[in-house]
Amino acid sequence: MTQALLLIDHGSRREAANRMLEEVAELVRARRPGLIVRAAHMELAPPNVATGFSACVEAGATEVVAMPYFLFRGRHAAEDVPRLVEEAAAQHPGVLWRVADPLGLHPLLAEVVLERAALGGDPAP
């Protein structure tokens, strides 16, 4: 079985914001060579979820793990992403799929918060 990871965020009208998800995908690829990793956006920018799912299959995936790239399990992660992935998967019968949990709570996120806070610049007067 060939597994793929499809990272899904909201999408933005700002290209720089959309590019960040592809940069995350590149970081994941570097840590897991050979893993098929694609990025997709729920709306506002290409590629959409259906296109991202298809790209995983075209790359050889027989199983797609869709990961909502959100901190918490709000409406997008709990409802919208699963619905969009299910719709995309319907176009690829025989391909297994599941939706992973969003980032959520993890000790490493505390480290990221502390690192980002330290880089905040000068305090306001």
Domain segments of the chain: what residues?
3-118
User: Distance between CA 40 and CA 13 in Å, rounded?
Assistant: 14
Name the token pair of 90: 């319907």
* The residue type at 39: A
CA 108 – CA 100 distance, rounded (Å): 18
Chain position carrying tokens 């909502």? 68
pLDDT for residue 49: 99
Supply the pLDDT for residue 28.
Answer: 98
36-41/63-68 β-pairing: unpaired
- pLDDT by 10s per residue, the chain, length 125: 899 999 999 999 999 999 999 999 999 999 999 999 999 999 999 999 999 999 999 999 999 999 999 999 889 999 999 999 999 999 999 999 999 999 998 899 988 888 888 865 666 66
Q: What is the pLDDT of residue 116?
A: 84
69 neighbors 40 (Cβ within 8 angstroms): no
Q: What is the architecture, at CATH level 2, of domain 3-118? A: 3-Layer(aba) Sandwich (3.40)
- Unique residue bearing structure tokens 């790239």: 69
Upstream peptide bond of 47 is cis (omega within 30 degrees of 0)? yes
Per-residue confidence (pLDDT) for residue 124, from 0 to 100: 60
